[in-house]
Amino acid sequence: MTPVLNEGQVQETVEKFSQVLKENGADIINTEAWGLKKLAYPIQKKNTGYYFLVEFTGEGNIVDTLELAFRRDERIIRFLTTVLDKHAVAYAERRRKGEMNQQKAKQSEAVAQ
């Protein structure tokens, strides 16, 4: 999302697209606000942007509807929609539960010893 938005406008935008998903029969699994980050290259003369992750399940036609809504909204400067395979779904679930951080901590303890 464009970096000129305040927190209220960011939440309003996220709610708008969550509502689009719900109206089309999608189940929202997870949402994460990654915050304001530097872009790899300027987009629309902006060097930063709000990153937001929404994981959802639903029928294939939902993606077309969601992407059309993204294109029509001037607050969205770039988006990426991906399909997760079974391994990526399992990884995302472990990441949400915090198991990935526990594994990294165990590995760093083993190296320290």
Give me the CATH number covering residue 1.
Answer: 3.30.70.60
Give yes or no: residues 45 and 25 share one domain. Answer: yes
Q: What is the DSSP letter of 80?
A: -
Neighbours of 86 (CB within 10 A): 7
pLDDT at 94 over 90: no
Q: Is the dihedral of CA 28, 38, 100, 10 positive or negative?
A: negative
Tens digits of per-residue pLDDT, 21-73?
A: 999 999 998 888 888 999 999 999 999 999 999 999 888 889 999 999 999 99
The answer on 65 and 31 residing in a single domain is: yes
pLDDT at res. 51: 92
CB 48 within 8 A of CB 39: yes
**Same domain (yes/no): 55, 27:** yes
Tokens 């915090």, located at residue: 98
The count of structural domains within the chain is: 2
pLDDT-based confidence at residue 100 (cuts at 50, 70, 90): low
Domain that holds residue 38: 1-82
Of residues 105 and 62, more confidence is placed in 62
Q: For residues 28 and 72, give the distance between their C-alpha atoms in angstroms, rounded to a whole number.
A: 22
Residue in 49, 60, 71 with CA at minimum distance from that of residue 24:
60
